[in-house]
């Protein structure tokens, strides 16, 4: 990736921004827009390069990151400072699965991380191509009404 990074820096239309967690390099006529703001408290928030790229339907090349441990990919576009709302979920009744809407339930980020941890140890899942779909009981969320 050092060769790729060095080659990209030779271009006239490249901008690089440094952040304590990672560096961002943007190329092209929208580079200034993409790199305009990287918040220190949460670098993948609503004004981040990741969100800007999504707004522009652009592409992101992540270097030196490994799969699910990638900070930008795992936490991209999720602001740890805002609440998470669960608006619905899959319910199964008499062997038939259907989508059920809930009232707005506030879920803390700790509860959300607990669900992710539960997904890592649970072996009851369905494979959809390379992805896995876990069916977790609603009590695992421990939601409280907003």
Structure confidence by residue, pLDDT tens digits, 11-33 = 888 888 877 767 788 888 888 88
The pLDDT > 90 percentage for the chain reads 0
Last residue of a domain, one of 40, 75, 110: 75
| Statement to judge: residues 136 and 89 lie in one domain | yes
- pLDDT for 145 equals 38
Q: Are residues 69 and 7 in the same domain?
A: yes
Could you say which of 75, 95, 123 is where a domain stops? Answer: 75
Shared domain for 106 and 49, answered yes or no, is no
Q: For residue 2, give the 3-state DSSP assignment.
A: helix
pLDDT at 80: 47
What residue numbers bound the domain in which 24 lies?
Answer: 2-75
Number of domains in the chain: 2
- Model's pTM, two decimal places? 0.41
Q: In the chain, what are the helix, strand and coil shares in percent, each to the nearest 5? A: 30, 25, 45
């Amino acid at each position: 990736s050092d060769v790729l990074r060095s080659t990209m820096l030779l271009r006239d239309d490249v901008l690089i921004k440094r952040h304590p967690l990672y560096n961002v390099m943007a190329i092209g006529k929208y580079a200034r827009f993409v790199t305009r703001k990287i918040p220190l408290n949460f670098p993948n928030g609503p004004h981040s390069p990741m969100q800007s790229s999504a707004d522009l339907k652009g592409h992101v090349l992540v270097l030196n990151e490994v799969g699910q441990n990638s900070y930008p990919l795992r936490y991209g576009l999720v602001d740890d400072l805002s609440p998470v709302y669960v608006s619905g979920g899959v319910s199964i009744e008499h062997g038939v699965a259907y989508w059920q809407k809930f009232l707005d339930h506030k879920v803390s980020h700790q509860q959300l991380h607990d669900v992710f941890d539960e997904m890592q140890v649970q072996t009851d899942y369905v494979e959809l191509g390379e992805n896995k779909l876990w069916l977790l009981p609603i009590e695992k969320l421990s939601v409280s009404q907003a």
